[in-house]
Structure formats: structure tokens, C-alpha cells
Amino acid sequence: MSDELTSILEQQTACLPQPSLNQAGFCFLSDWRYLIVEGEDAASFLQNLLTNDVNQCQPGQAQLTGFCQAKGRLLGIFWLIRNPDNFFLVLSADQQDFIRQRLDMFRLRSKITIQNGGQPVIGFLDQTTPLPDTAQIQNNLAIAVMDTDILAKLIEETTLIPRAQADWQTRLVKAGLPQIYAITREKFTAQQVNLDTAGGVSFRKGCYPGQEVVARLHYLGEAKRRLFTGFVQTEYDFSVGEDILTEDGSIAGQLVQYGVAENNTWILQMTLKLSMAEHTLKLADGTPIKQVSPLPRD
């Protein structure tokens, strides 16, 4: 596929309105990138660093996982994809270089290489059956690092249509699947963003940076913050990481990420103090946050 055609498809996907029907489709995830970890020690290297059990990650699956610093705060959240010869770590674009450099600090004598990937990251929505060369996130969501020629062939052989990237983002927000961006790096623990209940933490695997903190809270304590959603109608230019406030200006939590809902409304994914989650909440400009509700967790 030519660069010109790739550019046209990306523009189409970015400009599409939110579909009224859940028709099977794809979107270029222009805000996402990936790292390639390969070598004979790749699996054990990642197993010793990430919150989830790399050995349980199967081909065709995108495994949610995190990377913590020593105090248990998240440096990043990824979708881990196992390939025959390597692993892909799909993550926010503004995290790619930092995470690569941070992982490289732990490489020491491990027989691995870590490098930035260069192919497009593609999201697939509402496909009823698994597609070749994709990794399933949930039954109706999949992700792939895919050459545009392969994507073109897949489009020809299926009924996939271009979908908006905003639709993909909204689905992640509603599903309670968290993300860490550069601005929220080291701000949250795994439990504060529901990484544990979303299937991104294994409590049966061995040690990793921050494991003692994450495990202690799981077995001996109780999280004081959890993920919630809420809705706002506003022209205020809010941003990821900003504070969520109560009526008297107290800080109730922070904005983790957001998506587009119906009728020019934004859906917010927030980590909130449980003691303040039932208060009347607002953004920094005073816009009220409505229909605040906890995201499902085990």
C-alpha cells in the first residue's frame, strides 16, 4: 500500500464521527506505539519486570500488564503481544522512548535487544470472530501491529470499515482498561487504576519492581482509591492527570483518561478516593461531573 493511501486512510479514520451502529471496523491508533523485545532471554527478562505473568501470555492474546518503580507506582501500562520470535509492548506514544530506556537499564547480561517498532498500530472493533495476525483484548476488541499491505488484504477479504480512533478510546474507558501517559507516570499504583481487577496483575508469579507494595495492599490492606466513570458537557480544555475536585475545592482524585460519549458529552475515567466518590464532583473550571459510578471490579 502506498504512503499516500496510508495517509488517506489515517485521515478518514481520524475524522469519522462516532458510528451509530457497531459495525465491524478498524482504526489507526496514531497515539500508540510499540517496543520490540527479542532474544533468547526475552520472556524471562519481561517476567522479572512486569506485573502480569508473561508465561501465561498466549499467541493471539493481548495481555494487559504494568511496569512499576520500586515504590509500586506505575511507570507504564502496556498490551503485551507474544510472537514466535519476540514480544511487542504496545503503549502510549509519549511513553515509547522513556520505557525503552528504562527497560534497557535492567538488561545487564540478558541476551535481548529492545528497540522501537515502526509499523502502524491498528485497533479492531466489533469483529465477531478473531482475525488473523491480531491479538484479542476482549471479545469485541483486538489490536495488531500490522503492515499496511496486510491490512489492505484483510479489508478486501472482510467487511471491515474505517472507524474513529475516538470510538476505540471510548471503548477502553468504558471497559475500565486503564492507561498511563507521560504526564501520569509514577502518579498511581496498580490498585488505584484497577489494573489488578482488570486482569493486569498476577499475584502468583515471582518478584518484579514494586511487587512487595502491590502484594501487601492486595493481601493485607484495602485500596483507598479506585476507578470511576463520569460524564461532562463542556468546552473546557481539560487534560489527563488533572485534579478532580469536590464542591469545596478538595482534591477527590485525578483524571486517568477520557473518551467521547453521545450528544457532545465526554466520558471520564477517574481514580477517586473512595471516601469522596459520592461527593458532588467537578472539573477545575467548575463544570459538574454527572453520573459518577464505579467501574466493575472483582
CATH number of the domain within which 277 lies: 2.40.30.160
pLDDT confidence bin for 127, thresholds 50/70/90: confident
- Residue type, position 226, single letter: R
CATH number of the domain within which 103 lies: 3.30.1360.120
pTM score of the predicted model: 0.91
Residue 104 within any structural domain of the chain: yes
User: Could you tell me the three cell numbers for 255?
Assistant: 483524571
Sheet with 161-162: list strands edge to edge: 135-138, 141-145, 121-125, 25-28, 161-162
Same domain, 34 and 115: yes
Same domain, 58 and 161: yes
Same domain, 120 and 198: no
pLDDT above 90 (res 134): yes
Last residue of a domain, one of 146, 175, 204: 175
Same domain, 48 and 162: yes
Same domain, 61 and 138: yes
Q: Please write the tens of the pLDDT for every residue from 22-46.
A: 789 999 999 999 999 999 999 999 9
Using alpha carbons, select from 264, 272, 267, 271 the residue that is nearest to residue 290.
267
Same domain, 155 and 46: yes
Last residue of a domain, one of 144, 175, 206: 175
Expressed in angstroms, the distance from the first to the final Cα of the chain is: 44
Residue 231 within any structural domain of the chain: yes
**Domain total of the chain:** 2
Same domain, 62 and 145: yes
The residue range of the domain holding 92 is 3-14+22-175
pLDDT confidence bin for 129, thresholds 50/70/90: confident
Same domain, 114 and 232: no
Name which of 8-17, 87-96, 165-174 the model is least confident about.
8-17
State the Cα torsion 53-56-60-61 to the nearest 10°. -40
Residue 70 within any structural domain of the chain: yes
Residue 165 within any structural domain of the chain: yes
Q: Which residue has the higher pLDDT, 287 or 8?
A: 287
- Residue type, position 151, single letter: L
User: How many angstroms separate the CA atoms of 53 and 70, rounded?
Assistant: 18
Last residue of a domain, one of 141, 175, 209: 175
Same domain, 161 and 194: no
Q: Give backbone dihedrals phi and psi of 76, rounded to 5 degrees, phi first.
A: -170, 160
User: Could you tell me the three cell numbers for 84?
Assistant: 514466535
User: How many angstroms separate the CA atoms of 272 and 243, rounded?
Assistant: 10
Residue 75 within any structural domain of the chain: yes
pLDDT confidence of residue 9: 57
pLDDT confidence of residue 10: 54
Residue 153 within any structural domain of the chain: yes
Half-sphere exposure of 158 (CA within 13 A, CB side): 21
pLDDT above 70 (res 7): no
Same domain, 170 and 95: yes
User: How many angstroms separate the CA atoms of 140 and 163, rounded?
Assistant: 14
The gap from C-alpha 49 to its chain's centroid, in whole angstroms, comes to 18
Name which of 61-65, 101-105, 164-168 the model is least confident about.
164-168
Residue 73 within any structural domain of the chain: yes
pLDDT confidence of residue 139: 76
Neighbouring residues of 65: CB distance < 8 A, sequence distance ≥ 6: 50, 51, 52, 54, 77, 78, 79, 80, 200
Q: Are 35 and 96 in contact (CB under 8 A)?
A: yes
Residue 298 within any structural domain of the chain: no
Q: Scan for cell 484497577, then name that residue.
A: 194
pLDDT above 90 (res 123): yes
Same domain, 149 and 215: no
Using alpha carbons, select from 142, 97, 102, 143 the residue that is nearest to residue 117.
97
Q: Are 290 and 249 in contact (CB under 8 A)?
A: no
Same domain, 9 and 152: yes
